Amino acid sequence: MIIRLLNPGEGAPAARLAGLAPGAANWPASEYERIAADRSGSAFCLVAEEPAGEMAGLLAATLAAGEAEVQNLAIAPEKQCRGVASSLLTAALERLSAAGAQSVWLEVRESNHGAIAFYERHGFRRTGRRPGYYASPPEAALILTLQMP
């Protein structure tokens, strides 16, 4: 598996992939292009290729003042349960730690038990709840946080 940064010009395939992944944020291609063009270090999108040349998953994150947010994680349906998400999250956490992140947080639908269990296996803990955060269908978000070593 290859983990690399999203390149400019890959916004459309990234948006298509995220659109197929249950639970992932459905961003337009332009948002992925914006992140791919960001060279400030405050935002990045990692891509997993499996096999080489085939986008199997992506993870988008931001960093500001020592606090990072995992904004989107999407894995192609046929590539789920093969370690792609864990590989992406591990690579993102390493990158964020090297950039000075002291904590990493994210929001997840309260009913997304699989995602909650996944993040908790990786050391995230429930630290809050946002009632009515999601629409279609309306639902609360859980806030999960990881304190970086």
Q: Compute the residue count for the chain.
A: 149
Catalytic positions, please? 107, 119
Instruction: Return all residues near 1 (Cβ < 8 A) that are at least 6 apart.
Output: 48, 49, 50, 56, 83, 84, 87
* Burial of residue 108, with CB atoms counted within 10 A of its CB: 0-12 exposed, 13-18 middle, 19 or more buried: buried
Amino acid at 65: A
